[in-house]
Amino acid sequence: MSSISPTDIDWRGPSEAERRARLNRMKAFATALLVLMAVLFVVTKIYEPLHPAIGYARAFSEAAMIGALADWFAVTALFRHPLGLPIPHTAIVRRRKNEIGRSLARFVRDHFLVREAVVARLSRADFASRMGRWLEREENAEALTRDAGRLVGWLLDAVDSQALRDSVRAELGEALSRAPATPAMGALLNTLVADRHAQQLLDVVVRSVREVIIANQDRIRARIDEESPWWLPRFVDEQIFEKIVAEIMSWLDRIGDDGDTEARQQFLVHVGELVERLKTDEALIARGEALKAELLAHPAVRDYVDQLWLKLRMELAAQARNPDSALRRRLLVSLADLGKALRRDPDLAQRVNAWLTDAVIYLVENYREQIAGVVSDTVEGWDADETARRVELNIGRDLQFIRINGTLVGGLVGVTIHTVWTVFVGR
């Protein structure tokens, strides 16, 4: 026996106009049946003396009319006062709307929002496989990707504000201020030494020093002229300048050409000593923290964080809205791959189902009162007359069968009583 899947059900149902038309047709049919019984009763009552068999028809119509009227009263009393008369215990839905809402909420809470019911239902559902089948269809994956892109774009636009940027900057600054600076610097330097990156760093330093000296030769020459005695000839100053520059350049060339020079080894030793000092030297640690605080408070850093956030937001928003963007294409491919994996990997599907089950059970066990409260609060917020109208619109058509059945059953009971009386008691 095949079970009905939630995906096989049209949850939309007929429109309100269609439900109203169907209800009115059933009301008209039940009322017409009552009128027919009343006409039949009048006719049979008049002509009953003509033949004994007419008495059976009269008994049927009489009892059927009484049953129809009784059930009409019962059905009508649920939603309104019959004939507009304020008869006690009528218009039940309108008068007791809040009690009905609370009772419905308790029913949902006690019979649906419980672990046993949830586990039993989810164990048969296999949501992972259904999700996989749904995602494997290209149009579904594209629709989900499109909606996700729109949602991301809307969220980025909605949350972007100066207050948010200030908050992000403050949180980032607070997080960085709590993180010690010197251990991170020490770890970086230690990595440089251990992975031989220090040699590359020294090469960069050597090239930079050479470029600085070449670019500032005139300033060096002028400085030598200023510091030398007035009586020293200028050609001597020029020789001093050339000698100093030549020696420095020669030393830099030796360092740059030979990776095993004493200067390079001393550089590595100094780096190692600095790493150890960053761990233990309180003065150096304090200077590092002060430098970090100064950097975090600098306007340039704040502006950089703001610009970084703005660029990131604009890029993400553009990628999310563009159907041909790399982000959207990657998301589409990922969703399709997820659908295939859920369909073809039983272990993955089982884990997803278990995760969904645990998540739903957690929500049910921790928020069942709040979920049930939504039901009662919603019903209490409805207008009393509107509530009665909604309930009647949804179940009133079925209740008209009570009137029809009451008419027919009442007639049969009347014929039965008339027959028993005629046979055993006589006229």
Q: pLDDT by residue (tens digit) across 270-296?
A: 666 666 666 666 776 677 667 766 666
- Would you state the pLDDT for residue 392? 84
Report yes or no on 375 lying in a domain.
no
Average pLDDT of the residues in 366-376: 83
**HSE-CB of 339 using CA atoms within 13 angstroms:** 19
Residue 404 sits at the vertex; the CA angle it makes with 401 and 409, to the nearest 5 degrees, is: 115
Number of domains present in the structure of the chain: 1
Domain of residue 393, residue span: 13-95+383-425
pLDDT of residue 1: 36
Q: Give the pLDDT band (50/70/90) at residue 312.
A: confident
What is the four-CA torsion angle of 158, 161, 163, 164, rounded to 10 degrees?
A: 60
Element (H, E) at 230: none
Determine, yes or no, domain membership for 39. yes
| 67 in Cβ contact with 412 (< 8 Å) | no
Q: Is residue 104 part of a domain?
A: no
Q: Looking at the domain assignment, is residue 406 inside a domain?
A: yes
pLDDT at position 17: 84
Q: Residue 85, Cα to own-chain centre: how many angstroms? A: 51
Among candidate residues 45, 65, 35, 43, the one with its CA nearest the CA of residue 408? 65
On whether the CB atoms of residues 71 and 406 are closer than 8 A, the answer is yes
**Residue among 382, 277, 337, 302 at smallest CA distance from 138:** 337
Evaluate whether residue 407 is within a structural domain: yes
43: pLDDT strictly greater than 90: yes
Give domain status of residue 145, yes or no: no
In a domain, 61, yes or no: yes
CA angle 38, 44, 48 (to 5 degrees): 155
pLDDT tens-digit map of 7-26: 444 545 677 788 889 889 99
In a domain, 52, yes or no: yes
pLDDT (tens digit, 9 = 90+) per residue, 170-219?
666 666 566 666 666 666 666 655 555 556 666 666 677 777 777 777 77
Question: Cα–Cα distance between 28 and 23 in angstroms, integer?
Answer: 9
- DSSP for 238-300, written as a single string: HHHHHHHHHHHHHHHHHHHH-TT-HHHHHHHHHHHHHHHHHHH-HHHHHHHHHHHHHHHHSHH
Report pTM: 0.49
Burial of 402 (0-12, 13-18, 19+ CB in 10 A): middle
- pLDDT tens per residue, range 61-112: 999 999 999 999 998 888 888 888 888 888 888 888 888 888 888 888 888 7
**In angstroms, rounded to a whole number, what is the distance separating the alpha carbons of residues 114 and 116?**
6
